[in-house]
Amino acid sequence: MRIDILTLFPKMFENVLNESMLKIARKKKKVAVKVHNLRDWTCDRHKTADDKPYGGGSGMILKIEPLYRALVSLLGENRVKKLGEKKGVKKNMKIVLLTPRGKKFNQKIAKKLSKLKHIILICGHYEGIDERIHALVTDEISIGDYIMTGGEIPAMAVLDAVMRLIPGVLGDSASLKHESFENNLLEYPQYTRPREFEGMKVPKVLLSGNHKAIDAWRKKESLKRTKEVRGDLLWKR
């Protein structure tokens, strides 16, 4: 998989991409990630990426020119022009804008993205982005109902969620089947040594060696936890 990130703050991604599973995914060559500075495609010697909004208002707006030029550099001019007609994108690639008005990100979307060959993530900033960018993206994603300074941290969240799902990245791929949000359930409680700590004991069933009983306990606890914390997920079932 190839992932391109368009941002005004490329240094924000340096540590994230060089730690934990994201580093492993790149080291195993399961994914190639390139972070691009949008200012490299600005139109003036001051590398201006934003401007005042037409019609007045507070804040600054991210300009369309650097975004368009960046996409042309990555995809080619003919292909980008076809994006405006919604017919220039292949099935195995997505151009994703991180924006509060986007569809809320979840595990289902992460799985779909993990099966693609090419993803371009666009990080918004300032008060907003020139509306014309929406004609050039295939998907708009939000990570929650709150406002952040920019799209960089949301892009990192999408990166982490997607890259760990790529086959061969995790050492134990079977663990993916039992994670939270699989089958719209939160994961069951987990324990490790010691058996007792500060008066708190590991449930006896987990020490029994009875795998049928353990599976039943885990399913029961998963349902219980989901009901208590995320009852909305049960409705989806």
Say whether both 151 and 228 belong to one domain.
Answer: no
pLDDT band at 88, cuts 50/70/90? Answer: low
10 in any annotated domain: yes
Q: Is 109's pLDDT higher than 70? A: yes
pLDDT band at 236, cuts 50/70/90? Answer: confident
60 in any annotated domain: yes
CATH of the domain at 103: 3.40.1280.10
What's the total number of domains in the chain? 2
Dihedral in degrees, nearest 10, Cα atoms 86, 88, 92, 93: -80
For 188, the domain range is 180-236
Q: What is the rounded end-to-end Cα distance, in angstroms, of the chain?
A: 31
Distant-in-sequence contacts of 15-22, Cβ < 8 A, 24+ apart? 16/156, 16/159, 16/160, 17/159, 21/160, 21/163, 21/164, 21/169, 21/170, 22/159, 22/160, 22/163
CATH of the domain at 223: 1.10.1270.20
pLDDT band at 91, cuts 50/70/90? Answer: confident
* Sheet hosting strand 118-123, strand order edge to edge: 32-37, 2-7, 118-123, 93-104, 139-142
Q: What is the 3-state secondary structure (H, E, C) of the chain?
A: CEEEEEECCHHHHHHHHCCHHHHHHHHCCCCEEEEEEHHHHCCCCCCCCEECCCCCCCCCEECHHHHHHHHHHHHCHHHHHHHCCCCCCCCCEEEEEEEEEEEECCHHHHHHHHCCCEEEEEECCCCEECHHHHHHCCEEEECCCCCCCCCHHHHHHHHHHHHCCCCCCCCCHHHHHHCCCECCECCCCCCCCCCEECCEECCHHHHCCCHHHHHHHHHHHHHHHHHHHCHHHHHHC
Say whether both 208 and 152 belong to one domain.
Answer: no
Q: Is 82's pLDDT higher than 90? A: no
Say whether both 128 and 81 belong to one domain.
Answer: yes
Say whether both 158 and 190 belong to one domain.
Answer: no
Cα–Cα distance, 88 to 65 (Å, whole number): 19
Say whether both 151 and 203 belong to one domain.
Answer: no
Say whether both 87 and 156 belong to one domain.
Answer: yes
* The predicted structure's pLDDT at residue 126: 82
* The predicted structure's pLDDT at residue 217: 96
Say whether both 140 and 68 belong to one domain.
Answer: yes
Cα–Cα distance, 187 to 101 (Å, whole number): 29
Q: Is 41's pLDDT higher than 90? A: yes
The mean pLDDT value of the chain amounts to 91
119 in any annotated domain: yes
Say whether both 224 and 133 belong to one domain.
Answer: no
Say whether both 223 and 127 belong to one domain.
Answer: no
Asked if 46 and 74 touch (Cβ cutoff 8 Å), the reply is: no
Residue 167 — φ and ψ, nearest 5°?
-50, 130
* The predicted structure's pLDDT at residue 179: 61
Say whether both 118 and 202 belong to one domain.
Answer: no
Cα–Cα distance, 113 to 156 (Å, whole number): 14
Query: What percent of the chain is predicted at pLDDT more than 90?
Result: 77
Say whether both 123 and 202 belong to one domain.
Answer: no
Closest CA to 71 of 9, 17, 133: 133
**pTM metric for this prediction:** 0.87
